[in-house]
Amino acid sequence: MSEKTSAADFLPDGRSLRTLRQAALDCRGCELWKDATQTVFGAGPRKAKLMLVGEQPGDKEDLEGEPFVGPAGRVLDQALDAAEIARDDVYLTNAVKHFKWRPQGKRRLHQTPRAGEITACRPWLDAELEAVHPVGLLALGATAGKALFGAKVRVGKDRGRLLESPLAPVAGLTLHPSAVLRLRDHDEREEATATLVEDLRMLAGAVAEREAG
C-alpha cells in the first residue's frame, strides 16, 4: 500500500479551484491513480449556484481529463437541456477523481469505488464545496449519495424530495445518468430520463426560490 492514505496529504495551501485542480493532478491519496490515465477534477464556474456530484470518471473522462464528457455526460446534457439548466452554469464533479476499472479484452470496465477509496478522496470534494459554495447540491447515483449524505440514503426512497444537509442550503439525490444507459427497454429509458429531468428541475426550482426569497 501507498504511504499516503488520504487526499488531505496533497491539498494545497491555496484553495482556489485553479490551485486545487493543479494540485489534484499529483494526488496519490489512494491506489486508484496507478491504473488511471490522469486525475479528473471538477469543472464549472467558481460561483455556480448548482453543483452536481457523480461517482467517478468513466473511460472517456479518464482519457480527456474532464468530467461528464462520455456517454453518461451526453445523457446528462440532454436532461439539463430539458430541465432548462445551462451546463455552463453548473459545477460538475465526482466523489472519486480517478477512474477505477478492470480489463475485459481491449475494454476497460467500470468498477464501483470502495468505501475507503471514497473516503480517501473526500478532501478534494470538501475543498470544491468550500470553493464553490453552491446553493444547490445534487448527488447523481447511490455512490455519490452515500458520499455526500451518509450510508442510509437510497435513490429509490430519497429521490424526488429535498434532503437536509449541512453541505448546501438545498440538497437532493437522483439517479446517475449511466443508469439510463444500462436500460435496454425504450419505455424504461424514457421513464428514467424523465425522472432525472424532474429531479434537476426540482432542485433548480428550489435554488431559484431561495435566491428570490
User: Residue 124 belongs to a domain with what CATH number?
Assistant: 3.40.470.10
Q: How confident is the prediction along the chain (213 residues), in pLDDT tens digits per residue? A: 345 579 999 999 999 999 999 999 999 999 999 999 999 999 999 999 999 999 999 999 999 999 999 999 999 999 999 999 999 999 999 999 999 999 999 899 999 999 999 999 999 999 999 999 999 999 999 999 999 999 999 999 999 999 999 999 999 999 999 999 999 999 999 999 999 999 999 999 999 999 997
> Is the distance from CB of 47 to CB of 89 less than 8 angstroms?
no
In this structure, is residue 2 part of a structural domain?
Answer: no
In this structure, is residue 127 part of a structural domain?
Answer: yes
In this structure, is residue 94 part of a structural domain?
Answer: yes
Hey, is 49 helix, strand or coil? coil
Number of domains in the chain: 1
For the record, the C-alpha cell of 85 comes out as 439548466
In this structure, is residue 1 part of a structural domain?
Answer: no
Helix 115-132 / helix 142-149 crossing angle, nearest 10 deg: 70
Q: CA 180 → CA 85, 91, 107, distances in Å?
A: 19, 21, 20
CA count, 13 A, side-chain hemisphere, 89:
12
Integer Cα distance of 95 and 54 in angstroms? 6
Cα 85 to chain centroid, rounded: 17
Q: CA 169 → CA 4, 107, 173, 211, distances in Å?
A: 33, 41, 14, 11
pLDDT at 2: 42
| Residue partners of 33: CB distance under 8 A and separation at least 6 | 27, 39, 98
Specify which residues 172 forms β-bridges with.
Answer: 138
CA count, 13 A, side-chain hemisphere, 173:
23
Q: What is the domain extent for residue 76?
A: 7-212
Integer Cα distance of 96 and 199 in angstroms? 23
> Is the distance from CB of 52 to CB of 37 less than 8 angstroms?
no
Hey, is 53 helix, strand or coil? strand
Integer Cα distance of 48 and 31 in angstroms? 31
In this structure, is residue 200 part of a structural domain?
Answer: yes
Integer Cα distance of 123 and 138 in angstroms? 18
pLDDT at 5: 78
pLDDT at 132: 98
For the record, the C-alpha cell of 22 comes out as 493543479
In this structure, is residue 161 part of a structural domain?
Answer: yes
In this structure, is residue 66 part of a structural domain?
Answer: yes
